[in-house]
Amino acid sequence: MDLNQLVVILATAIATATPLVFAGIGETITERAGVINLSADGTILMAAMTGFAAALATNNVLVGFIAAAIVGAAFASIVAFGAITLKQSQVAIGFVLALLGADLSSFLGNPIVLVPGPTVPAWNIPLLQDIPVLGRLFFQSDPLVYASYVLIIVVWIFFYRTRPGLLLRSVGEQPAAAFARGSNVVRLRYLYTLLGGALMGIAGAAFSLDFKAGWSNRSTAGYGWIALAIVIFGGWNPLRVAIGAYFFGILQSLASVAQSNIQNVPTQVFSVAPFVLMILVLVLTSGEWLDNLLARLPVGVRRPILRALRQPAPAALGKIFEQD
Amino acid sequence: MKDNSTTPSPALALRPARGLTYQAGALLLSFLFLTVIILLAGESPFRVVSNLWDGAFGTPDQVARVFSTLAPLVLCSSGMIYTFTAGLYNLGVEGQIVAGAIATTLVLREFQGLLPAPAVVAAGIIAGMLGGVVWGLLAGVLNIFGKISEIFAGLGLNFVAQGLAIYLIFGPWKRPGIASMSGTEPFDESLWLGHIGQTDAAPVALVIALIVLVLTIIVMRNTHFGLRLKAVGQNPRASFILGVPATRLLLSSFIICGGFAGLAGGLQVVGLFHRLIPSISSNLGFLALLVVMLISFNALWIAPIAFFFSALNVGSLQLPMVLRMESSLSGVIQGTLVLMALLARGFSERAHKRAGGQ
B291 interface with A at CB cutoff 8 Å: no
Give residues 4 to 23 of B whose Cβ lies within 8 Å of A: 4-7
Reported as a single tens digit per residue, the pLDDT across B175-215 is 887 767 788 888 988 888 888 877 788 899 999 999 999 99
A283 interface with B at CB cutoff 8 Å: yes
Separation CA B274–CA B266 (nearest Å)? 10
User: Residue B107: is its pLDDT beyond 80?
Assistant: yes
User: A225 vs chain B: nearest CA distance in angstroms?
Assistant: 8
Q: Using an 8 Å Cβ cutoff, are B336 and A100 in contact?
A: yes
Sign of CA dihedral B182, B184, B189, B193: negative
> pLDDT averaged over chain A?
88
Buried-exposed string B55-73: b where 16+ CB fall within 10 A, e elsewhere? bbeeeeebbbbbbbbbbbb
B180 interface with A at CB cutoff 8 Å: no
Give residues 134 to 163 of A whose Cβ lies within 8 Å of B: none
B351 interface with A at CB cutoff 8 Å: no
User: Residue B48: is its pLDDT beyond 70?
Assistant: yes
Separation CA B132–CA B62 (nearest Å)? 29
- Per-residue pLDDT at A288: 67
Lowest mean pLDDT among A223-237, A267-281, B296-310: A267-281
Grade residue B13 by pLDDT with cuts at 50, 70 and 90: very low
A102 interface with B at CB cutoff 8 Å: yes
Q: How far apart are the first and last CA of chain B?
A: 27
Which domains does chain A show, CATH number per domain? 3-309 (1.10.3470)
- Pairwise CB contact (< 8 Å): B347 & A86: yes
Reported as a single tens digit per residue, the pLDDT across A206-224 is 999 998 888 988 888 788 9
Grade residue A262 by pLDDT with cuts at 50, 70 and 90: low
- Pairwise CB contact (< 8 Å): A317 & B1: yes
CA–CA distances in Å: residue A97 to residues A38, A92, B297, B342:
8, 9, 19, 11
> pLDDT averaged over chain B?
89
Q: Which position has the higher pLDDT, B131 or A303?
A: B131
Q: How many Cβ atoms are within 10 Å of A187's Cβ, its own excluded? A: 12
Q: Which residues of B touch A269 (CB under 8 A)?
A: 163, 166-167
User: A260 vs chain B: nearest CA distance in angstroms?
Assistant: 15
Grade residue B307 by pLDDT with cuts at 50, 70 and 90: very high
Q: Which residues of B touch A38 (CB under 8 A)?
A: 151
Taking residues A225-232, report their average pLDDT.
89
- A vs B, Cβ pairs < 8 A, gives 159
User: Residue B259: is its pLDDT beyond 90?
Assistant: yes
DSSP secondary structure string for all residues of A140-205: EE-HHHHHHHHHHHHHHHHHHHSHHHHHHHHHHH-HHHHHHTT--HHHHHHHHHHHHHHHHHHHHH
Separation CA A299–CA B257 (nearest Å)? 44
User: B336 vs chain A: nearest CA distance in angstroms?
Assistant: 7
The nearest alpha carbon in chain B to A317 belongs to B1
Taking the model in full, what pTM does it have?
A: 0.91
Three-state DSSP state, A321: coil
A95 interface with B at CB cutoff 8 Å: yes
Taking residues A295-302, report their average pLDDT.
76
Give residues 64 to 83 of A whose Cβ lies within 8 Å of B: 78, 81-82
A321 interface with B at CB cutoff 8 Å: no
Q: Which residues of A touch B91 (CB under 8 A)?
A: 95
User: Residue B242: is its pLDDT beyond 80?
Assistant: no
- Per-residue pLDDT at B358: 44
Please name the amino acid found at residue A216. S
Q: Using an 8 Å Cβ cutoff, are A32 and A273 in contact?
A: no
Which domains does chain B show, CATH number per domain? 48-346 (1.10.3470)
Burial of B112 (0-12, 13-18, 19+ CB in 10 A): middle
The nearest alpha carbon in chain A to B335 belongs to A100
The nearest alpha carbon in chain B to A313 belongs to B1
Grade residue A267 by pLDDT with cuts at 50, 70 and 90: low
A103 interface with B at CB cutoff 8 Å: yes
Separation CA A118–CA B310 (nearest Å)? 39
B151 interface with A at CB cutoff 8 Å: yes
User: B348 vs chain A: nearest CA distance in angstroms?
Assistant: 9
Reported as a single tens digit per residue, the pLDDT across A95-108 is 999 999 999 999 99
